Structure 1
Amino acid sequence: MSDVANRAEWRIAMDLTVAKAHARCTPQLEADGYCHYCDEQVAHGALFCNTDCRDDCQWEQEALRRAGR
């Protein structure tokens, strides 16, 4: 039984390692004072002017990923 538990722990550790490496390689948006979707001016440190812009941008990015771009 301990072999199964050991393999499960090893698999979890490997999955976490791969996920962390992927997260480091994925480009992140940087706050530049403007909404990343509609280019309106936003508060310091904000990426989007409201949740609608955030959701629309996320939807478009996911569509591009599904299309392989």
Structure 2
Amino acid sequence: MSDIADGAIWRVEKDVQNAMAHARKQPMLESDGRCHFCDEAIANALLFCNVDCRNDYDKEQAALRRTGRR
């Protein structure tokens, strides 16, 4: 019984490691003082001017990934 449990634990750990490695490869947005969706001037620490721009950006990126353009 412990062999099955050990195998399951090993599999879960491998899946977590693979997911983390994949997440690290994803490009990260950097704050540049402009909204990444509408290009409006914003504070340097922010990426988007509001929640709507963030959501629209996420939807646009998801659509690009689905169509294979990103």
1:44 correspondence with 2:39: no
Give the CA RMSD over aligned residues: 0.8
> Aligned-pair distance for 1:3?
1.6
Q: Which whole-Å deviations, capped at 9, do the CAs of 1:4-37 have from their partners, x for residues lacking one?
A: 2111111111111111111111101000000000
> What is the TM-score normalised by the length of structure 2?
0.92
Matches for 1:1-69 after TM superposition, within 5 Å: 1-69=1-69
> What is the TM-score normalised by the length of structure 1?
0.93
Q: Give the distance between the partners of 1:10 and 1:18, measured in 2 at CA.
A: 12
Amino acid at match of 1:53: C
Q: Give the distance between the partners of 1:42 and 1:2, measured in 2 at CA.
A: 56
Q: Give the distance between the partners of 2:7 and 2:62, measured in 1 at CA.
A: 33
Amino acid at match of 2:8: A
Residue identity over aligned pairs, in percent, reads: 58
Amino acid at match of 2:67: A
Q: Give structure 1 stretches of 5+ with no counterpart.
A: none
Amino acid at match of 1:10: W
- Which runs of at least 4 in structure 1 moved beyond 6 Å after TM superposition? none
How many equivalent residue pairs? 69
Moved more, 13-22 or 32-41: 13-22
